[in-house]
Structures are given as structure tokens and as C-alpha cells.
A and B are shown apart, each in its own frame.
Chain A
Amino acid sequence: MVDLSTTYLGLQLDNPLVPSSSPLTKELDTAKRLEDAGASALVTHSLFEEKIREEDERLMRFMHNQEIGSPEADTFRALPDDYMTYQEKYLEHLLKLKSSLNIPIIASMNGTTRGGWVDSCKELEQAGADALELNIYYVAADAQENAGQVEQRYVDILQAIKAQVNLPVTMKLSSQFSAPLALVRQLEEAGCDGVALFNRFYQPDIDLETLEVVPRLQLSTPEESLLRIRWAALLSGRVSCSLAVTGGIHSRTEVIKALLAGADVTHMCSALLMKGPDYLRQVLQELQQWLEEFEYESVAQLKGSVSQSKAIDPAAYERANYVNVLDSYTPPPGVRW
């Protein structure tokens, strides 16, 4: 029997399959099904800074606009006492997950500033989260802000959060950093317990009818995993924090590659959304079969065995790879150059 267990953020997990933040972890029922299918931990759906802010704004407007200065109407509907805020509802959900599931729950927070939302992590800890995943979904759209300042933003937020909680904290990073290795080291110094590679930015689209810019949600494809696997391989062995690969993990193939590159866990999302929570069971079984077939004793043995430092051709993860790829391209059948 192959030992599938792994360690992530100091948590002992039964296997490296950890569903990432998605609508599936939003419902108790589907979360339970994920656990039953073999998920070793869950990342909850995100507590969004924007939603907290938006609700604050809406509540302020609502309470403020109650008063229109009419002698006939002191208020329109007042806010009921049993009103639960977005944050309160999130915490309630977290409590429910904790009481119904046995696997560790990693609470996800999504935001970009050091504003009031950071305080929420304390409450997440109190509600029983086993770790925090911090998704700083930040698009550097400010021309005044240089790369160093963007990186410092990550460090600052992390420090603000570490100062408040005793939980392990992982950072879900963007792939768009000039020097990810150096950044991860910097984060590590600031107390980061792990990094998740990488966030997928949903791309805004232009509606040709209205000329409005509209958000578009597209699920990932397995190809996207390769970018992540490369950076996992480059980080593995060079940093001591946990590594997770997220984005494009659709089957055991990507899971194995990610582990080989050095990931401690892999996060699945799009594949589960497309095939349902029970699909995880299949991936887990296939992973086990593969490991047995190739006579691995444990995931630990496999982890990082093809990281850059241990790869047959370390340069293949770097620029050399690029030249080879370009040269190897031939036109598809029927196409003449």
C-alpha cells in the first residue's frame, strides 16, 4: 500500500488532493461529498474584501438613506436586529464546515489592502479554521506603483495577518512577478508558511454590443498547469515553506507532475466543477494506481524528485527549454509556410 500522506502548512494530510476555493466548498452538502470522495483538506470559498466593503457601503447607504428628510416618513424599512452580515454568514458557514467535516479546513481570504478586512482573520481563527489562504488578487494598474511596492504590499498584508493569528498562512500568488523566487523568500522571512502557485486572473472582456467591459469566467485547462509546475520545480528545495500547485489540475497526470516538481499538495477546482465532487475519488484512485505501478512507496518519495535541483536537465526549466521548443515546431499537416 502506497503512503499517500503529505504535509502542508504543518498539517498532516492523508493525500495531496485538496480542492481549492470554489462554489463546491460553499455548500455544506458538496463539501461533505468532497470529503467522502477523499479530499484531504478543503479551502473554503473566499471571504472577499470587496464584498465586505460593498456591504459596509450598502449598509451605510441604507441606514443613511433611511432619512430622506420627509416629515411623513421617519424611515423606510429599518435594518432588522437579526440581520446577518456577509462576514457573519461566512463565519457561520465555517463553523458548520468545522462541525460536520473531519478534514482540516483552510479558510480563504481575498483582498488587496491592509484595510479593515484583515481583522476578519482573527474571527476565522476563532471559528476553527486550521489555516488561512490569503489570495491577494491584485492587478497592478497604478502607474505610480513600482514592482517593489507591489511586492511590499504582499509582505505588509501577510505581516498584518500574522500579527493577529497563530494559524499557518499560505499566500496564493500571481504568476506575474518578475522574480517569484526572491519574493517567496521575502514572504518566508515575513512568516509565510506556504505559497499556492498560481492565482488565475479572470480576464475582462469587451461586449461588442454595448462596448461595456464585462468580467468573464472561464474554467482552466490542463495546459495551464505547466506554468505552475515549472515554478514549483524552481522553488522546490530553494524555499522551506509548503508548496501548492493550483490552476489546471484536471487529472492524475497533472497531480503527479506537480508532485514530481515539488508540490506538497495540488488544488483542484475546474475539473471538479465540470465533473462533480465525486470525480476526486477517481483521481485519487488513479494516483494510487500510478504510484503502485511505478513502485513508489509514498508521495513523500515522489515529492520534488523532478524539481529543478534534482532534474535530469535542470536547464530545461529555464531559458534553454525555450530555444528547443521554438526549433522543434513544424507546421501542422496541410499548412504551408
Chain B
Amino acid sequence: MPHPEMDVIDGNQAAAAIAHLTNEVVAIYPITPSSPMGEWADEWSSKGQKNLWGTIPDVIELQSEGGAAGTIHGALQAGALATTFTASQGLLLMIPNMYKIAGELTPTVFHIAARSLAAQALSIFGDHSDVMAARSTGFAMLASNSPQEVMDLALIAQVASLESRVPVAHFFDGFRTSHEVAKIETVPVDVVRAMIDDSTISAHRRRCLTPERPVVRGTSQNPDVYFQARETVNPYYQAMPGIVQNAMDAFAKHTGRQYRLFDYVGAEDADRVLILMGSGAEAVHETVDYLNRQGVKVGALKVRLFRPFDANALLDALPETARSIAVLDRCKEPGADGEPLYKDVVTAIAQQAMAGESRFKQLPRVIGGRYGLSSKEFTPAMIKAVFDELAMEAPKNHFTVGIRDDLSHTSLDWEDRFRTDAHNDNFQAMFFGLGSDGTVSANKNSIKIIGDSTDLFAQGYFVYDSKKSGAVTVSHLRFGTKPIRSSYLIESAEANFVACHQPVFLERYDMLDFAADNAVFLLNTPEPQGAVWASLPAKMQTQIIEKNIRVYAIDAYSVAAAAGMGKRINTVMQTCFFAISGVVPHDEAIAEIKQAVEKTYGKKGKRIVELNYKAIDMTLAALQEISTGHASMAGEYATGALKDRLVKDADSFVENANSFIKNTDSFVKKVTAEIIAGRGDLIPVSQLPDDGTYPTGTAAYEKRNLALEIPEWDADICTQCGKCAMVCPHTAIRAKVFPSELMTDAPPAFKAVPTLGKTYPPGNHISYQVAAEDCTGCTLCVDICPIRDKSNASHKAINMTPQAPVVEQERENFEFFLTLPEYDRTTLKSGTIAGAQVMQPLFEFSGACVGCGETPYIKLASQLFGDRMVVANATGCSSIYGGNLPTTPWTKTAEDRGPAWSNSLFEDNAEFGLGMRVAIDKHGEQARELLQSMAPGLDQDLVEGILTADESTEAGIHEQRQRVAQLRKALESTADERAALLTELSENLCRKSVWIIGGDGWAYDIGYGGLDHVLATGRNVNILVLDTEVYSNTGGQRSKATPKGAVAKFASGGKEVGKKDLAMLAMEYGNVYVAHVAYGAKDTQTLRAFLEAEAHDGPSLIIAYSPCIAHGVDMSHNHRQQNLAVKSGHWPLLRFNPALAAKGKNPLKVDSAAPSVPYRQFVESETRFNMLWHSHPEAAEQFLAQAEKEVAHRYHYYQQLAELDWEDPAVEQQLANKKAQAMSDKHQGTRGRKN
């Protein structure tokens, strides 16, 4: 047996390692949480890493999972060893090909990070909904429960598939296993080599399609033979379990790790048994061990091979003594009388009993239950609750555990305080940080250090919130001498170490609730040593005293700054952890961190290493134990004074979480606020909407206070151009025009000045107000401001100022600002930036990245059309910041009008939006028909007015709405039985604006077929493509919008082919309005394009350049990058308006000048391009030379098109005919008179 190699990796990497080693073709499409598997494979191949047979696997990214599955099917048919990685909807898109692959008995392994399916809502987290939906494809299904098992079973799956010809879906829990970092024994290459029988591969190749052995496969069959042919595969499925077990046994010989199709753990004479599969089985294993030690006779059966289902093997693995069994499914099949695994187990037991062969002393009672959907926690306490239920006389069937179901009363109660003793063997640490402060990467690094330098087992799991800017991360680390089975988060009173990396969290999270007795608490705080204790909330002080917690403090931001690390505190905090946690001896730990730094940064720059070393040394000097205050507070504690203060403070965490919710409806209080406060797990079923419908306007409740500095308006020099409001990615700066007299009620610090010029009548004030607590401090408003103080060039009409001193005052000002009435939109000049920006934005405070290049476009659309907008939003960044609970930035006016928003899927968004259009049009038509038929009984002028309304202007729209309101009123008093239906449909007599929004991944790749088709229908929809030129949401994979030479995942050597010209393709239709815009380069062109697109009575396509952090640019330079993109010719600005063609004019207008900045200057300014100069300089130069030519050519081509004399023969002919007809009429008339 080879010496075991230990490594610290996550489940995804473990699967990818085996997949890459044992395949020739890897076809993938990114989807969370499986994306990293494809990325690993791509990285290894791009580094020239070879597979078992000495060749580099070909890794190819497709346009969708459907495409990936098709490619795999083809590769397999051509005799290659091929694999893919996927999850969730991705797996669903593969199902058609999976049936084919299995039907043709083709060996392959798909590795699946099992994830929830989008139902009432999308969820990226883990459960078995996806794999269960694929269980009838004919794929074998093998479940892994931990990163170790992922690696082991990935190989076993490969071996068994090759031998059996049955393809395998190898799955493990998304996030819990795919993203759990663990110290595992890696499978040595020679074991992989020894396990795989090359003759099985030869056999696979011999079956391939080749002209040398021509056959036909994939025929269509008729009623005469299809059925019989379908039954031909049975022997293969009958043989499969045995083949899998043989592979497991062979694997055990090589590695000592023995797996069985069904692994039983627990008491030999257990009377209660749980059956389940996936990571939850490990927590059950841990709990069973604990209960067994307490003398409780329980056991658990881990299902590994779920399909083909070997009922006998399952039954044989169960103890004969089992009296009651609970089968747990991590999925939901609505309407079924039990979930899949439960039904299989019941059937197995019943079949055996019916055959009179039951192995049980007494036929056991079997109940089924659901747990852990969407990564819901599954803890020993919940497991114990299931065992307790099994002991009941009449245990509840079809139960749920882990939630409180007060609607259908399915849930089991659990004793929250129940713990196993597993944590006694472990050191458990929790870290509260921000996504952007490097806490997670530092912790991954720490696990690696501890895993590599000690004999300890290690586990790391990371919990994120849903925001992109200022996301909170909580890291859960465990270290122990025994293998760690705790597949759940560190629980209350269990952590030996708690670290707070951000001082603001003190008020927000009850971090010390997690601390065990005698734990260590590490706090990053700017407070000097003497003031730290007093700065802690009373509750925390009490916890510290009661649990005897040792407190250490460091001013990490100061140390980082002094060491030259800027605001990067990860090294500082990591050093503190090692210095005081005692997991590794102090000096050794510090040496290890330094070594890790050298390893990470060494090659990239000595200075970076030195800065880190300096930070480490300075940290050790600056870290302080806080003890002085401790004693005095202990005194306060003893006298009860602290308790009094505590009562007075109430529960400060709850207070803080809810303080911003004022006078609002109960739903927001009971649901939204609870989720924001981190208590979403406690919300009972009855409180949640049954159909996934949520109120809008809720992002306004999340005052996240992310900005250290916010903009301050200098009204004296401002020209009121509105650009600052236009570019704000978070809608945190607002313009409003209002009657001057309202200023009398304004708070003293509120700023407003009389409007300039003649746009507004005299007697109006304008204010540009900042939402100080919603601003992220991105500085883009200051960057765009064109006005400078005449006597101080560095002072603009808007300038950054520290947030803290003004936040109170600005909160008051913003609240006042919100009370001011909106200006009458029918008189606003929407065609100017200044006018459009006075319109109320109905998209505000999104959780998009700081400086996001997408959101200003969405906000603009919401200002211009929000009160008549229906939005279909493709899955991606915009659906995440647009609709990820707890809140949504989409909001409404005081009259409760506003965008109605929905996300269907990633691939079908254009069609989804089209469906909305079709419905609205149908209902509009039906309403007009009804109105016409009911006209005699109604006011003729009103009917006429409604039917002939001109809604091309805001005023027209407003008037129509008034007419329809009048109609509804009139219908109230009509006896006509059609009145009710007309009232219902009448809203469709008013203009509605359908917007189809998504990123380039959707529009160029996965949804292109649908988008193309929707354009071709000619229906009146507006499509907004937020083009970041890369898959932003899933981590920067290339898309067909990725430009030539840009480095992206799956294009590590720079993308070889140019960007697809989506605008040109759409223009070919002739009747599609097309615009290419970049608001940071020319905001007026963007505005005009939005207005024209919406006015166009047909399909419109706006392709909007959206800088993204994936570009590797400092997002505070977002506008500069847009400008460079336009001026270098990378992003020509253009508008193609079919309305012009109808008038005999050239429909195309090129709005940007010929490239005036060298393309080199643009690409050198963005890391996505310039990185290539550092790794493949020759290729970079070559790409640049080609791209330079291409952009020049493209501009020239557009320019030529725009200059074409637009003499459309059809239009000309029409005009000529008219003229001839007129002449002829005239002539005939004359003659007639003559005659």
C-alpha cells in the first residue's frame, strides 16, 4: 500500500483531480456550486498537466449545459473518455442527453455538486432536488458524503462505469461538500493507474462511431420494437451493483478505505435506524456514535449507490433488530406521498415481506422525512429529534426537520441544546469578516498551514450573505485528532476561538453566543487598549465574564496601514489567530505563516513578501490582551450593575437589527427584518409567501453604512446637470425639484437651491441629496462631476467627505428629502440628463459590487419607464442584486406603481419576457374589443379617447391612465355583465413597457437562441444586455462577448477569437431597434437610446457596456475605462432606428468618433488584457495587432453603413406609386369633367 499523501482541498477539487486524470475530453458550462471543478480542469490542462495516458485533456466551455451534455455525448460516441461537471438547472438541461448516453450504454461519469432547483425561488445552495430529477435517466447514481469520499468515489465511479457500460452521476452536496475544505488522504496516481483496466477503455473505443466500422446508432423505433429494445439493458443494470462493490473492494485493497453500496454504522442490535445519503449522513454517523456510547441502540445506513437500487444489499445491511426506520430525503416532491429514497426503502421492505422472506424479526415501521433543503442546517439535535420520533408509539410520517412548519404541521421539534461530544476532541474557531477583507482566503490559508504542518485533521466551511458589496462571511474551522464528521456549522457555545474582523459587527451579531467556556475572543478595533472593554456592548461583557473568555484586541487597520498593506488586514488577523489560538506552537506558527506568504507572493514580488513579513512582526507587537477592564467589570457584574445595564440595553442586537424599520407593514417586520437580522432560520412556514411573491422596495430597509466617505454637494457651484445621480451605481444620490416654500420645514443642514435656467418655473428648488447610509463610497459621482471651483481646481460641485461625522445629519436630511413630493413627470424633460435624473428611480440601494457598471443602466430604465415596467430578468448578477432575499432594490412610487419583476431561468429569459408581452397584448386587445362592444352604454368621448389614445409621451400616458380610471368608475355602475371582465383587463388599455434584462452570458451564449427568436417575432419588447464581456456572477468565465486577447477562465492564454457582434446580428433583421451604449463615455447617447428603444413599436436591443471587477480595474476608474473603450474603438457607440428607414433615411447612426486613442492604451489599462503581457507577451502582441485591425475595420464598416444613401427601392417605389396615383387621379378628373 503506498504511503498516504495528505492534502487540504475541497470537494470540488477532489472530484476534478480524478476526473482530469481519467478523461480526455472535458466539456463544461459554469454553474454554482460546480464551477470550480471545470476551472480546476481548465487550469491543469492549460498548465500542461497530463492524464493517466500522458495526454493533456481537452477542456472546452460550451454555451450551456445542454451544449456541454451534447458535446460529451458526441465525444463518447467518437470513443473518447469524456466528463462534465454541473448542478441544479444545469443538470436538468443535460437530462435529454443523459437518457441518450445511458440508453446507448456509454461509460462516463458526471460529477454533480447537488443543488436546489429553482422553484418558488432560485437557490444556489445544496440539496438533492437536481439529482433526484435525473434519477430516471438510466445513469447510475453514487453519493459521496465528504471531500474524502468525493475523491475516492469519483475513482470508483469511473472504474465501475467503464466496466459496466452504465454511466454514473457521481454527486455530493453543493457547498457543504463541494466547498468544504478538508484534510484528506489523496488517491495516489499509481492507485488510479492500477484501478483502471485499460481493456475496458479499448472496449469503449471499439464501440465508437468510425467509418472503419460503420454502424448507425440513434435510430427511431416504432411500436413494434422500441419496448423490447428498452428492456435489453436490464442485465447491465443488474450487474452494476456488483461491479461497483467490486471496485469498492479493489479500492480498499489499495487504500485501506472500504466502502459498501450501503454502509451501516451503529449498534448491531439497533432498534431505530436512519437511512439517508449525502453529507448529512456524516452528522448522523457522529450522532449515532455518541448515542451508542450512551447505550442508546440506534444505527444509520448510508446509501452510496442509489441507482441501480440494490434492494437486497440495502436490506442485508440493516440490522435484523430494526423496529422503526426513518428515511430522510434532501429534496421535496410536492404531491407525492413520500420522497424517492423513502419510497424505495418502503418498497424494498414490502417486496421482501410479500415474498415471505423478511429478514426482520418484526416488520419495521418506516417513516419518511425531509431535511436540509437549500443547505438548511442538519445538526445532531435534529438527528436526535428524528430518533426520538422513531421511539414514539405513532411516529409522524412525511415529517420535516430543521424548520418550524406551523402550516401543515409536518415539522419535528428538536432540543436546540443537544450536542454530541465530537467538539470536545476538536478545536473550533469562528471568524466574522467581510468578503472583501480577505478573511476567507486567510482562513483557507490557515487550514492549509495547520493541515500541512500538524497531524491534525482539518475542516473549513464558509458562510456568505447574499450581497456582492460588503458581503459578510463567517468562517467555521475545526481541527482535531480524529476524522471530522461534523457536516454542520459550529453551534452556540461550541467555539474555542471567535474572531471579529470588523468592529461594526460588535453591534450587529451576537458573536459570543458561539463562544465556549474559556474561549478566546479576538477583536479588530480602533479603540486604544484602555478603551476596548468599555466599547463592548453590555451583553458581550456579560458573556465574557460568564464564560471566562480571554479577550485580545488589535487595531488591524492601523497595523496594516503602517506596514504598507493599505486596508488589507488578512495577514494581520491571521497572525493574531496563530499567535493566541495555540493550535500550533507560537514560533512554529509564525514561521509557517511567513513560509505561506513566501509561497503565495514570493514569485510575484519580494516587496509584497516583505510588506507581509513586516505586517506579521508589527502584529505580534501590537496584539494586546484586554484584562484591566475585565476586573472592574467583574465587580460591576458581581454587584448586579451590569445586569441592570443589560436590561436597559434590552437585547441590543435585536434592537440594532430592527431599528431602521419604522411604521412599515407587518410582512417586512415579520419576514424581511428577521432575515436581515440573521434570524431567517427561525421564520415559521406560515409567515412565508406560498408562491414566492415578495413586496418591492425593501432594500431601503437595509442601512448598511458601508462607506467610509460619502459625497457632499456644493450647491453654490453646481450647474444641476444631474450626472452624479445618473452614474451612481447604488442610487444613493438623488435629484428632486420641489416648490421652494417646502424649504421652511427642512432640517437646518438640508441643502437645496433655486433651480437654474428656465427649465422649471420660478419658485422651485432643487436638491441633490445623498443617502448616507446606503452609499458605498465608490466615488464615481465625484469622478463624473464636470464642475470645478474656479479658485480651487481640486474642489468640485460634489466632493467626498468622511461619513461618520455627518451620518446623523444626512439621515435626517434624506428622510426629509423623501417626504418632498415628486415633480410632475409629465412636464419633466426626459430627453436631458438633468431632467431624466429628477425622475424618481425605482431601483435603489442594490447590493451590487461597489462601483458596478451595470446598475446605472437599470436605474435609468426605472426612472424613465418604471411606472409602466414589467421586467423579465435572466439569472446572473442582475438577478442576484435584483432579487436575492432578504431585500430587493426594485421599488415603487408613492402611488404604489412600479416595476413588476421576475426571474425565470438563465436560458429562457427572452422567451419569458416575450410571454409577458404576448399576454399584455392579448389582454389589451380583449379589453379594446370589450370596450367597443360595450361602447353604446358608455360615454362615447371616453371610449373614443381610450381607443385612439396617443401614449407616446408622458402626458399622453398620464391622460390615458386617467381615462381608464374614469372608465373603471363608470363600469362600477353598469349592470352589464361584461363590466367585471373589462375592469379586470382595463389596465392593459394603458401602455406597459416590457423589459428583458440580462448579462452577456445569457444574451450571447445560453439564451441566444431564444433572444434571436424573440427579435424575429417583431413583438414590442425591450432587451437590455448588461455586457461585462465575461460571466461575472460565476467568477469570470469567458463568454462569446469576451474580446479577443482578454484573459478569462477557459481563456487563460487570451481569447483567440473576437467578440461576437450582437448589434450587427440584430440589425440584420431590419425591424429591430439596436443601440450600443456606454453611459460613462456619452451619457446623452445612452439616454437617447433608452428613450428611442422604448418608443420603438417592435423589438429593441440595447447592448450596454458594463465595467466589472472581473476586468481587473479599479472600479473608481469605471468611467475612464468606458471612455477608453469607446475612444479606442473597442466599443463604438451606435443606434440603429428602423423608424428612420421607414422615412427613407439611413437607420444607422454612429455616435462615437473614429478611434482616437491607440487600442494598446485601452488594453494596457485593464488587467484582463495586460496580464497576458506578463505571461504570454508574444501572443499578447499578436492579439493586440489583430484586435487593432479589427476595431478599425469594424468602425470603418459601421461608418460606411451609416453613410449609405438610404434609397430603399421598396420605399421609393411606394412613394412613386403614390405620386403616379395622384397624377392619374388629377388627370382622370380633368378628363371626366371634359367628357
Contacts and interface: CB of A to CB of B under 8 A. Distances in A.
A58 B849 contact: no
A69 B435 contact: yes
B652 interface: no
A79 B1170 CA distance: 12
A82 interface: yes
Interface in B1010-1036: 1032-1036
16 contacts: A60-B568, A63-B601, A67-B440, A68-B436, A68-B849, A69-B435, A69-B472, A70-B435, A73-B1033, A75-B1035, A76-B1035, A77-B1048, A77-B1171, A82-B1176, A83-B603, A119-B606
Contacts of A70: 435, 464, 468, 471, 1033, 1035
From A64, A70, A85, A115, name the one whose CB has the most chain B CB atoms within 10 angstroms.
Answer: A70
Interface of B: 32-33, 35-36, 43, 47, 124, 175, 179, 434-436, 438, 440-441, 462, 464, 467-468, 471-473, 565-566, 568, 570, 600-601, 603-608, 610-611, 788, 793, 849, 880, 1032-1036, 1047-1049, 1052, 1109-1110, 1112, 1114, 1167-1168, 1171, 1174-1177
B1171 A80 contact: yes
A61 B464 contact: no
A71 interface: yes
Given A69-B436, A70-B468, 4 more contacts: A72-B1035, A74-B1035, A77-B1168, A117-B607
B616 to A, nearest CB: 15
A211 B790 CA distance: 10
Interface string A133-156: 000000000000000000000000
A59 B608 contact: yes
From A55, A63, A65, A119, name the one whose CB has the most chain B CB atoms within 10 angstroms.
Answer: A65
A65 B607 contact: no
A68 B435 contact: yes
A56 B607 contact: yes
B1175 A67 contact: no
Contacts of A48: none
Contacts of A59: 601, 604-605, 608
A73 B1109 CA distance: 12
Contacts of A76: 1035-1036, 1049, 1109-1110, 1112
A241 to B, nearest CB: 30
Interface in A94-149: 115-117, 119
Contact of A71 (B43, B175, B434, B611): B175
A68 B604 contact: no
A109 to B, nearest CB: 14
A64 B566 CA distance: 11
Interface in A29-87: 52-53, 55-85, 87
A67 B1167 contact: no
A83 B32 contact: no
A119 B608 CA distance: 13
A62 B1174 contact: no
A53 to B, nearest CB: 7
B127 to A, nearest CB: 15
Contact of A74 (B36, B434, B601, B606): B36
A307 B35 CA distance: 73
Given A69-B471, A70-B464, A77 B607 contact: no
B296 to A, nearest CB: 37
Contacts, number: 133
Contacts of B604: 59, 63, 79, 83, 85
A41 B189 CA distance: 55
Given A76-B1036, A77-B1168, A85-B604, A68 B1109 contact: yes
A238 interface: no
A52 B608 CA distance: 10
Contacts of B1171: 77, 79-80, 83
A85 B601 CA distance: 11
Given A53-B607, A62-B1167, A64-B438, A73 B124 contact: no
Nearest to B1176: A82
A77 B473 CA distance: 21
A64 B1167 contact: no
A62 B1111 CA distance: 10
How would you classify the secondary structure of chain B's contact residues: helix, strand, loop or mixed?
mixed
Nearest to B570: A64
B861 to A, nearest CB: 25
Contacts of A67: 435-436, 438, 440-441
Given A67-B440, A77-B1036, A84 B435 contact: no
A180 B234 CA distance: 96
Contacts of B434: 69
A82 B1036 contact: no
Contacts of B1114: 61
A15 B326 CA distance: 94
Nearest to A69: B435
A169 to B, nearest CB: 21
A71 B1177 CA distance: 33
Contacts of B43: 78
B1175 A82 contact: yes
A109 B587 CA distance: 38
Nearest to A58: B1167
A62 B608 CA distance: 12
Contacts of B435: 67-70
Nearest to A84: B1174
A83 B1180 CA distance: 13
A78 to B, nearest CB: 8
Nearest to A66: B441
A211 B793 contact: yes
B297 to A, nearest CB: 40
Contacts of B1036: 73, 75-77
B605 A56 contact: yes
A78 B600 CA distance: 12
Contacts of A71: 32-33, 124, 175, 179, 462, 464
A69 B440 contact: yes
A85 B1033 contact: no
Contacts of B472: 69
B436 A72 contact: no
A314 B1195 CA distance: 66
Nearest to A68: B435
A155 B333 CA distance: 79
A153 B435 CA distance: 41
A73 B1034 contact: yes
A60 B568 CA distance: 9
Contacts of A83: 603-604, 1171, 1174-1175
A69 B473 contact: yes
Contacts of A85: 603-605, 1174
A76 B608 CA distance: 20
From A52, A65, A67, A73, name the one whose CB has the most chain B CB atoms within 10 angstroms.
Answer: A73
A89 B1174 contact: yes
B464 A80 contact: no
A60 B563 CA distance: 14
Nearest to B463: A71
Contacts of A66: 441
A79 B438 CA distance: 16
A62 B793 CA distance: 31
B405 to A, nearest CB: 26
A74 B471 CA distance: 13
A77 B464 contact: no
A53 B32 CA distance: 36
A115 B1110 CA distance: 31
Given A80-B1171, A115-B607, A116-B607, A72 B1033 contact: yes
A150 B1119 CA distance: 39
Nearest to B43: A78
A279 B603 CA distance: 41
Interface string A207-219: 0000110000000
A89 B1173 CA distance: 10
A72 B1176 CA distance: 29
A96 to B, nearest CB: 13
Closest 3 CB pairs of A and B: A69-B435, A73-B1035, A69-B471
